[in-house]
Structure 1
Amino acid sequence: MVFACDRLKPGMSFPKATRLLSLRSLTSVHQQHLLPSVPTRLVPSRTLIQNEYRRPGKPRENVLPWQKIKFDFSKGLEGIKKHFALLMKEVTDPWVGPEGRPLIEHMLEQNRVVWEFRGPESLEEWTLSSDREIGGQSEIHLKLGRNHTTCFLYGTLCSAPPKDGETRYSGYCTVRSKQPLASFDRKKHHDWSSFNSLHLRVRGDGRGAHWQDVKIPFSKFFLTHRGRIQDDQHPLWLDKINTIGFTLGDDADGPFQLEIDFIGVCKDPAHTEEFAYEKYKRNPQV
């Protein structure tokens, strides 16, 4: 399931490329300004790190699973060292405090930067996807900005559906953070239960040409599934956040651009709202 939010604080404009901001949680179990000349480091699309999209009617590859495995002793040894180092960190960190920090530091924390773009390795934490996976024409790219201190999310949106006689709608681009992993590729989650707002420093592509500090309370996120708002709403599970994503799909065809400095979370003492939407059951008990 995905929690989506399309609200900002009063007086703030919404950058074109952040029409839909989503947080993925374990709730189901889950002409324009030109880009400056900057070094390019493209992020692989989702099809390169997940299962490739297979169109209806297309036969499956007749390849056995073990035939795709590439055996490399040196890489296997590096992987073992990496995972045992992560396992050691998981064991020793609780002796110090949450996430390996002193308890008093954790209790007094008001702001936390979760993602910042300060080098090529920071882009490896994100994955891109667009309607090209289903035959569309939209494009999305991610690269570092000047001096490797920001990142540029840019591309072109095209809502024309592919002429395959099957697909009726098209026109979306998405960037999503990867699922954090513990040792031996066990899934873990972001724990933001000490915070109540998402904090982003971004710059849009024309209608918001200046840097903006955007703070979105977690109480404003609502539950969706495959783009549909669900009837059974409940607050975001802040201790089990899997990923964060940005989706553009507003039928405004053409180029888009979003520059991101950092993405973090913060604790706003002035915000006391728990959940902004009505909670009810479709078949309440009498």
Structure 2
Amino acid sequence: MSFSRLSQYLNRSARYALDGTSRVLRMAGADDPIRTPITLLTFNSQSDLGQLALGCDADIGGTSTIHMDLDTEHTYEGKPTGKFHGQMSLAVRKGLEGRVRGGYAGFRNKHRTTLFGEITDDVTFHEYLALRVRAAGHPQTRHSYYVNLQMEGPITADIWQHRLFFNRGDGAWEDIYIPLDDFVLTNAGEVASHQITMARDKVRSIGISLLGGNSGVEGPYELGIDSIRALNSEDVDIPPVKQASDGTKWERQPV
């Protein structure tokens, strides 16, 4: 292990110990529930981007491409931002037709191991996941993004998922607010037949995926991203998007 990686590992271990102490104090009633905004992920430096794991269908025989770069052109408040981009393709390599499925690209934060265990995020007392993003790329690829949450637990194929809908089509920055209660439990890419309430005290990873294979979409894609935060209603300044009960139709919540 290199010195820089060892330093990061030890820093995470110290954070794990501090977070554990804070949780014990909260359980003892020493602190009120924390409702202030929590920054979960930022995309403003090479160090931030180095904490991400990337993957696409090319890993299993597809032909899509994936990149995550630091963007110094499309900045937010003077800071560089992340640019998630590539080419979405439904084709697979010769000889793998019918055996693998193309049309996938995504990223998430790497799992954060420490000397004492794994660091997770606690959003129990927060209502919304807030994403500061910029939709670019081909217009047809903008409707196939999903936000993914993985909780600590024995079933690693369980992912909580929600569609990512944009309000702007001009490539400008916007804040998208998704109610955490509206995430749907999926397993191995399929909606779970038995839906349960998401336990939000141990969020293991947060990510975004582009699922062109689900909608038959191909073409160049690009998503700018500045940050992902956890907020409450007092911090939300526009009506959030809400998922309909059938999981397929969407409507904007009334003001």
TM-score, normalised relative to structure 1 = 0.59
1:124 aligns with 2:124: no
Cα separation, partners in 2 of 1:239 and 1:89, compared to 1, 3 Å: closer
Select which of 180, 183, 189 maps to 2:115: 183
| Counterpart position of 2:124 | 193
What is the identity, as a one-letter code, of the residue corresponding to 1:227?
G
The structure in which a higher percent of residues are strand is: 2
Deviation at 1:94, TM superposition (A): 5.9
Aligned partner of 2:201 in structure 1 is: 239
- Structure 1 counterpart of 2:103, which letter? G
Per-residue deviation, 1:163: 2.2
Measured in 2, the distance between the counterparts of 1:127 and 1:232 equals 29
SS at match of 1:204: strand
The equivalent residue for 2:75 is none
Larger radius of gyration: 1
Classify the secondary structure of the residue corresponding to 1:150.
strand
Report the CA distance shift for 1:82/1:208 in structure 2 as closer, same or farther (over 3 A): closer
Contact 2:70–2:82 (CA under 8 A) maintained in structure 1: yes
Closer, same or farther in 2 for the Cα pair 1:144/1:216, shift >3 Å?
Answer: same
Equivalent positions of 1:1-286 (< 5 A) are 75=2, 79=6, 87-88=13-14, 90-91=16-17, 97-98=22-23, 107=33, 109-146=35-72, 148-165=79-96, 167-183=99-115, 186-205=117-136, 207-250=169-212, 251-268=216-233
Indicate the percent of aligned positions where both proteins have the same amino acid.
25
Does the 8 Å CA contact 1:152/1:258 hold for their aligned counterparts?
Answer: yes
C-alpha deviations, 1:45-66, integer Å up to 9, x for none?
Answer: xxxxxxxxxxxxxxxxxxxxxx
CA change 1:98–1:157 in 2 (3 A) is: same
Per-residue CA distance 1:105-145 (angstroms, 9 max, x = gap): x7453311111122210001111111111121100100111
Q: Which whole-Å CA distance do the structure 1 matches of 2:179 and 2:86 have between them?
A: 28
**8 Å Cα contact 1:138/1:173 also seen in 2:** yes
Return 5+ residue gaps in structure 2 as ranges. 73-77, 140-168, 247-255
**Normalised TM-score (structure 2):** 0.66
How many residues end up aligned between the 2 structures? 197
2-structure distance, mates of 1:76, 1:210: 39
Larger relative contact order (C-alpha < 8 A, sep ≥ 6)?
A: 1
Deviation at 1:76, TM superposition (A): 7.9
- Residue 190 of structure 1 contacts residue 239 of structure 1 at CA under 8 Å; is this kept in 2? yes
Residues 189 and 276 (structure 1 numbering): CA distance in 2 closer, same or farther, change over 3 Å? farther
Q: Secondary structure at the match of 2:47?
A: helix
Are the aligned partners of 2:12 and 2:112 in contact in 1 as well (CA < 8 Å)?
Answer: no
